[in-house]
């Protein structure tokens, strides 16, 4: 059993940043705590008739904004500590990118590959039912989304189950990352990876930083390694490749591969589909295990699998100049210090993978308003259309950018809206945390935490304490 304590790791980073703020000690302590922690167990009847007990969690970290929001993970790593850490990261992430949600996370401790589709459906539906019974799901209370091991199919089952047991008129908004036909939004599947790309691109524009790292500004020609070719890793790699970066290394469950000449992503995905793995891919060298490639020569390392991957033991050997934290918690606090001391730039998870929740927010807005983005002008006159937009802005406490307004008003497609909203969010938030980094002479992770603590703390102060 590993002694890795994920929630403690997040809180260490919080404490470091809190020293740059002036909030009351008690309030800072309140901000760190998880407001509600739910551990559920329920029986699953397996296809062979045997009965198995399933363990699941849902944690609502912060109720300073409602609903709370965060993915559902299916993995053998799931436990209370992991879910609490991930829920807390959601609070800080939402604050950094100005998405008006509190943080939450859920998880079920299963190895998805060991269950049939029917069994997975029964697990998902029963889990949703248990969440509903305990008031841990609902459009205005707690809204799940996909995470490691889950995707649109599971979110579709969540919605359908919720609909059977709730008469909420906004039922569609009880979960995001759904199939499009069920009220999902175009661009959600690729949103986290796309956001990772926008964040890395923004970092690479900074000439001074690139000079310090000994790199040319821009993405083109930079080499990268990605760990985990799942939803986030695949899409991050795809957009990096499209922008002219060269993928030289990949890690997956079965091992890792490297090629100085570059690895073609589309061909590798085909190969993975055929063989179930990546090792042995033509033109690449298979390394000794799946963590070896993390230490390979490259400009950008994109950990996009799970937490606790860059640690004290391998951090001194990391050669990448930029660590793009697509996954949550891939770098331990000890490794962070080593990598920073060695001069690399870490773009932190609590900012970089916020693209998913940003687009989930657009999906939720669309669902609670019962509208189809980009088609409004066909249903409303210009005046009433503008009024609706301003109501959405008031309810969500977020201003649409001029580009978003333009696209909405003149029938830009949903894809355009998502794309531009996501890009604006990732670019603006990067610049905001980068300013804090310079102001306090800290690293980007600490700067992102300072930004989050300041925003959440201010809201707490405005709210006061009940009763
Ligand atoms: N899905 C989202 O929208 C989203 C949003 C924000 C953050 N994240 C974070 O991104 C990370 C990945 O999530 P995802 O949704 O892409 O999951 P996923 O299940 O789609 O993909 C994860 C991939 O990583 C691989 N993997 C697992 N362990 C590995 C290892 N040790 N070495 C190499 N590969 C390994 C798996 O085989 C899988 O292909 C998680 O930390 C998750 O919390 C996801």
Virtual torsion, Cα 456, 459, 460, 461, nearest 10 deg: 120
- What does the block give as tokens for 220? 């083109």
Domains of the chain plus CATH, in order, are 34-184 (3.40.50.10860), 185-374+413-467 (3.40.50.720)
Site to probe by mutation for ligand 1, drawn from 110, 150, 231 as the one with most ligand atoms within 8 Å of Cβ, is 231
Least confident piece of the model among 1-15, 30-44, 241-255: 1-15
> What is the whole-number distance in angstroms between the Cα of residue 303 and the centre of ligand 1?
9
Please tell me the residue having the least CA distance from ligand 1 atom 13. 148
Ligand 1 centroid – CA 350 distance (Å) = 15
Query: Does the beta carbon of 284 lie inside 6 Å of ligand 1?
Result: no
**How far, CA to CA in Å, does 350 sit from each of 30, 199, 315?**
19, 12, 20
Q: Is the CB of 350 under 6 A from ligand 1?
A: no
CA distance 188 to 253: 25
- Residue nearest atom 8 of ligand 1, based on CA coordinates: 327
| Spatial CB neighbours of 52, under 8 Å, sequence gap ≥ 6 | 43, 44, 46
Mean pLDDT computed over every residue of the chain: 94
ipTM: 0.99
Tell me the pLDDT band of 417, cut-offs 50, 70 and 90: confident
Ligand 1 atom 40: residue of nearest CA? 327
Ligand 1 center to 228 CA (angstroms): 6
Query: In this structure, which residue's CA is closest to atom 9 in ligand 1?
Result: 327
The verdict on the CB of residue 189 being under 6 Å from ligand 1 is no
Render pLDDT for 424-436 as a digit per residue (tens, 0 to 9).
999 999 999 999 9
What's the CA-to-centroid distance between 306 and ligand 1, angstroms?
6
* Cα three-residue angle 305-156-67, rounded to 5 degrees: 75
Residue of 225, 228, 236, 253 with the most ligand 1 atoms within 8 Å of its CB, for mutation = 228
User: Quick one: DSSP state of residue 400?
Assistant: P
Q: How far apart are CA 80 and CA 306, in angstroms?
A: 16
Q: Is 232 in the pocket of ligand 1 (CB under 6 A)?
A: yes
Closest atom, ligand 1, to C-alpha of 349: 7
User: ∠ CA(353), CA(215), CA(351), 5° rounding?
Assistant: 15
Q: Are 9 and 332 in contact (CB under 8 A)?
A: yes
Output phi, psi for 281, to 5 deg.
-65, 130
What does the CA dihedral 393, 396, 401, 404 come to, rounded to 10 degrees? -80
How close is the Cα of 297 to the center of ligand 1, in Å?
22
Range 284-322 burial, b when 16+ CB lie within 10 A, else e: bebbeebbbbbbbebbbbbbbbbbbbbbeeebeebebbb
Interval 183-212: pLDDT, tens? 999 899 999 999 999 999 999 999 999 999
The structure's pTM equals 0.93
Residue written as token pair 């891919």: 281
Residue 106 belongs to what H/E stretch?
A: strand 102-108
Is the Cβ atom of 252 under 6 angstroms away from ligand 1?
A: yes
pLDDT recorded at residue 219: 98
pLDDT of residue 411 exceeding 60, the answer is: no
Q: Is the distance from the beta carbon of residue 76 to the nearest atom of ligand 1 less than 6 Å?
A: no
Which is the catalytic residue, given 65, 69, 105, 238? 105
| Structure-token match 């640690």, residue found | 311
pLDDT score recorded for residue 393: 84
Pocket test for ligand 1, best of 87, 146, 148, 198 (most atoms within 8 A of CB): 148
What's the sign of the alpha-carbon dihedral 382, 388, 392, 393? positive
List of residues 6+ apart from 59 with CB closer than 8 A: 34, 36, 37, 38, 80, 83, 84, 86, 87, 104, 105, 106
Predicted local confidence at residue 376, as pLDDT: 44
- What's the 304 CA to ligand 1 centre distance in angstroms? 5
Ligand 1 contact via 360 beta carbon (within 6 Å):
no
* Token pair belonging to 114: 């060991």
Which atom of ligand 1 has the smallest separation from the CA of 256?
Answer: 33
**Hey, CA dihedral for 410, 416, 421, 423, is it positive or negative?**
negative
What's the rounded mean pLDDT across residues 48-52? 98
Find the mean pLDDT for residues 153-175: 98
Render pLDDT for 258-302 as a digit per residue (tens, 0 to 9). 999 999 999 999 999 999 999 999 999 999 999 999 999 999 999
Q: What's the confidence (pLDDT) of residue 362?
A: 95
Taking only the tens place, the pLDDT of each residue in 400-410 is 876 677 666 65
Distance 73 CA to ligand 1 centre (A): 10
Please state, for a pLDDT cut of 70, what percent of the chain lies above it. 96
- Report CA(223)–ligand 1 centroid distance (Å): 21
Confidence check: pLDDT of 221 > 70: yes
DSSP characters over 268-328: HHHHHHHHSS-TT-TT-EE-SSTTGGGGSS-SEEEE-S-SS-B-TTTGGG---SEEE--SS
Which of 71, 89, 290, 306 gets mutated to test ligand 1 (max ligand atoms within 8 A of its CB)?
306
DSSP-derived pairing of the beta strands 102-108 and 51-60 = antiparallel
**Is 366 one of the annotated active-site residues of the chain?**
no
What is the band of 356 on the pLDDT scale with cuts at 50, 70, 90? very high
Q: In this predicted structure, what is the pLDDT of residue 317?
A: 98
Instruction: Read off the pLDDT of residues 106-130 as tens digits, 9 standing for 90 and up.
Output: 999 999 999 999 999 999 999 999 9
Local structure of residue 108 (DSSP, 8 states): E
Q: How far apart are CA 434 and CA 233, in angstroms?
A: 24
Whether 58 has a pLDDT exceeding 60, the answer reads: yes
**Atom 28 of ligand 1, nearest CA residue:** 305
């Amino acid at each position: 059993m590993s002694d890795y304590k994920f929630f403690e790791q997040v809180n260490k980073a919080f404490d470091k940043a809190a020293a740059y703020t002036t909030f009351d000690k008690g309030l800072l302590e309140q901000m760190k705590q998880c407001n509600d922690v739910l551990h559920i167990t329920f029986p699953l009847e397996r296809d062979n008739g045997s009965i198995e007990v399933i363990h699941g969690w849902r944690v609502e970290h912060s109720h300073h904004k409602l609903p709370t929001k965060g993915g559902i993970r299916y993995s053998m790593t799931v436990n209370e500590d992991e879910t609490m850490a991930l829920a807390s990261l959601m609070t800080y992430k939402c604050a950094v990118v100005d998405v008006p949600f509190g943080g939450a996370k859920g998880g079920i401790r299963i190895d998805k590959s060991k269950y049939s589709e029917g069994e997975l459906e029964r697990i998902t539906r029963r889990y949703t039912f248990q969440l509903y019974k305990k008031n841990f799901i609902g459009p205005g209370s707690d809204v799940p989304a996909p995470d490691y091991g889950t995707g649109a199919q599971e979110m579709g089952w969540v919605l359908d189950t919720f609909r059977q047991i709730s008469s909420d008129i906004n039922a569609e908004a009880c979960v995001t990352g759904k199939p499009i036909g069920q009220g999902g939004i175009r661009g959600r599947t690729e949103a986290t990876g796309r956001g990772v790309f926008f964040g890395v691109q923004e970092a690479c524009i900074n000439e001074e930083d690139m000079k310090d790292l000994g790199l040319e500004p821009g993405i083109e020609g930079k080499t990268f390694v990605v760990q985990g070719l799942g939803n986030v890793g695949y899409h991050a790699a795809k957009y990096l490749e499209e922008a002219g970066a060269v993928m030289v290394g990949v890690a997956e469950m079965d091992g890792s591969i490297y090629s100085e000449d570059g690895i073609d992503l589309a061909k590798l995905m085909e190969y993975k589909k055929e063989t179930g793995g990546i090792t042995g891919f033509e033109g690449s060298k298979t390394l000794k295990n799946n963590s070896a490639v993390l230490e390979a020569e490259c400009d950008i390392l994109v950990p996009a699998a799970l937490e606790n991957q860059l640690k004290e033991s391998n951090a001194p050997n990391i050669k990448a100049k930029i660590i793009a934290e697509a996954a949550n918690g891939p770098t331990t606090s000890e490794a962070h210090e080593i990598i920073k001391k060695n001069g690399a730039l870490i773009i932190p998870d609590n900012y970089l993978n916020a693209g998913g929740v940003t687009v989930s927010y657009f999906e939720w807005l669309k669902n609670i308003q019962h509208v189809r983005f980009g088609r409004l002008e066909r249903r409303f006159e210009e005046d009433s259309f503008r009024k609706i937009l301003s109501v959405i802005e008031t309810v969500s406490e977020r201003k649409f950018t001029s580009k978003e307004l333009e696209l909405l008003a003149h029938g830009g497609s949903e894809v355009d809206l998502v794309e531009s909203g996501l890009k604006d969010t990732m670019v603006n938030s990067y610049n905001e945390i980068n300013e804090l980094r310079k102001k306090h002479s800290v690293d980007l992770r600490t700067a992102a935490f300072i930004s989050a603590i300041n925003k959440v703390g201010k809201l707490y102060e405005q709210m006061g304490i009940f009763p």
